[in-house]
């Protein structure tokens, strides 16, 4: 078995999780923060609530998986994942 001495590279990944409730209350934001979503910003616009994340992880997949797990732990359903666009 070969092992690598190379340490994993941590990067910051930007993405949004779109939630199914139209709006959430301040107490809901507290639950999200307590679940570990302190690197996300909750925004409700045009009846759609999403959490914009800037999450540090070894991969985009790991970043999305950890964020979705924490959002679900806080009691929310996720409609979809949206990627940030480069301008």
For residue range 43-73, list pLDDT tens digits in order.
998 889 999 999 999 999 999 999 999 999 9
* Residue 40 in this model has a pLDDT that exceeds 90: yes
- Cα(82)–Cα(87) distance, rounded to whole angstroms? 15
CATH architecture assigned to 11-83: 2-Layer Sandwich (3.30)
CA distances from 66 to 22, 27, 56, 86 (A): 23, 22, 10, 23
Q: How far apart are the first and last CA of the chain?
A: 44
pLDDT in tens, 76-85: 999 999 997 6
Where do the H-state alpha helices sit in the chain? 26-34, 60-73
């Amino acid at each position: 078995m070969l092992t690598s001495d190379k340490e994993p590279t941590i990067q910051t990944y930007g993405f949004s999780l779109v939630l199914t409730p139209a709006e959430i209350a301040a107490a809901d934001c507290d639950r999200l923060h307590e679940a570990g979503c302190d690197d996300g910003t909750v925004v409700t616009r045009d009846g759609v609530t999403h959490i914009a994340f800037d999450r540090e992880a070894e991969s985009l997949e790991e970043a999305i998986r950890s964020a979705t797990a924490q959002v679900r732990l806080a009691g929310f359903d996720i409609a979809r994942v949206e990627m940030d666009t480069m301008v």
